[in-house]
A = this chain, B = another copy of it.
Amino acid sequence: MTKERITVVEIAHAAGVSKSTVSLVLQGSSLVNEVTRAKVSAVIRELGYVYNRGAANLRQSNSKSKIIGIVVNDLTNSFFAELAVGVDDVVQSAGYVQFLSNTGESVDRQREVIASMREHGISGLIVSPARGTEPADLKPLVASGIPVVVVVRNIQGAKVSSLMSDNHAGASAAVEHLVALGHRRIAFLGGFPDTAVFAERLVGYQTALKSADIAFDASLVISSAPSRAGGVDAIDRAVRLGDRPTAALCFNDAVAFGVCDGLRANRLEPGADFGVIGFDDVIEAKTAVPALTTVSVDPQGMGRRAAQLLLKQINSGNADPEALVGSVRLVVRESSGPARRDVEKRTA
């Protein structure tokens, strides 16, 4: 069964030309006669020849492997699956193929997969780093001149390109919306405080409060796991507060769902009795929960953008770090139907 791989010399022989001619045909060079090209192409097809990129790649001193790597911290999260789809989209169109690995938030696993990808000669890497990733983890890659684009989560001090969503603007817009609705005691619920994303969103929240002349109250910042269960937990603690909040900005949509669950358990109707806004829109987009206002980012779009940036750097040979910010939208859903107010804040 294991058929021998057929090579250029065989097709050269069969076509009655030399292997370099075949090689030229393969690369679509214009240096080859039309009739020769046709003949060679025919033989290639009829013999079922498959190009060996490994060999080609080996010969071309510079590693033009046509492989890009993408590693995400949690592919189980639809957000990252969508991101990967976006990346795959542009990567495929550019004739590349992607290594995709999931780290599950393990920096060890991340180190391994990156090392492995490096051995395979990826020409670029897109990474949503596992929590706790250090600049050193990416150091060897950048040192060898391989472009790296960090997405979603920044790595402080790493000299690589990045693409983050506009957490600050999104959080501000959400809080402004709640303020416009008449809320004054607005909580910030969920998320792990030791992450850059959390910090950015929190600052956006604080900025908006200040603009509205509302004093920041640290007791209204209640962190928890960024999950549905975490949301339940956070809102439970929030409603037990002496001066309880009347609305909340949630770290992400999972938390927002949990907050809704918890509100209902407390006989409060989300939206009507208590304002709720969640970040991210993946789960929301999938399950179309009505009447929940969200700060939404387009993960596929982010993926495409990241891939474009990476390809640009690969092709230009210029891997100077570039920091991009992805726009976010505040999507307000009234019970009467989806109304959208767009908040675009873009850098780049």
- Which residues of chain A have a CB within 8 Å of any CB of chain B? 1-3, 5, 48, 50-55, 57-58, 62-63, 65-67, 75-76, 78, 81-82, 84-85, 88-89, 92, 95, 97-102, 109, 112-113, 115-121, 140, 143-145, 228, 257, 283, 286-288, 317, 319
Contact = CB atoms under 8 A, between A and B. Distances in A.
B120 A53 contact: yes
A145 B3 contact: yes
29 contacts: A2-B62, A2-B144, A3-B145, A5-B144, A48-B140, A50-B115, A50-B140, A50-B144, A52-B58, A52-B121, A53-B119, A54-B54, A54-B65, A54-B120, A58-B58, A75-B81, A75-B85, A76-B81, A76-B82, A85-B102, A88-B102, A92-B112, A92-B113, A97-B101, A97-B113, A97-B116, A97-B120, A98-B101, A287-B287
A109 B55 CA distance: 25
A121 B85 contact: no
Contacts of A113: 92, 97
Nearest to A317: B2
Contacts of A82: 76
Closest 8 CB pairs of A and B: A100-B100, A2-B145, A81-B81, A54-B54, A1-B145, A51-B119, A53-B119, A88-B102
Given A54-B65, A78-B81, A257-B287, 20 more contacts: A3-B143, A50-B118, A50-B144, A53-B119, A54-B54, A66-B120, A75-B81, A75-B84, A75-B85, A76-B82, A81-B81, A84-B102, A88-B101, A89-B102, A92-B113, A97-B117, A98-B101, A228-B288, A283-B287, A287-B287
A27 to B, nearest CB: 13
Copies of the polypeptide in the assembly: 2
A44 to B, nearest CB: 13
A38 to B, nearest CB: 21
A92 B101 contact: yes
A98 B257 CA distance: 34
Contacts of A88: 75, 100-102
A50 to B, nearest CB: 5
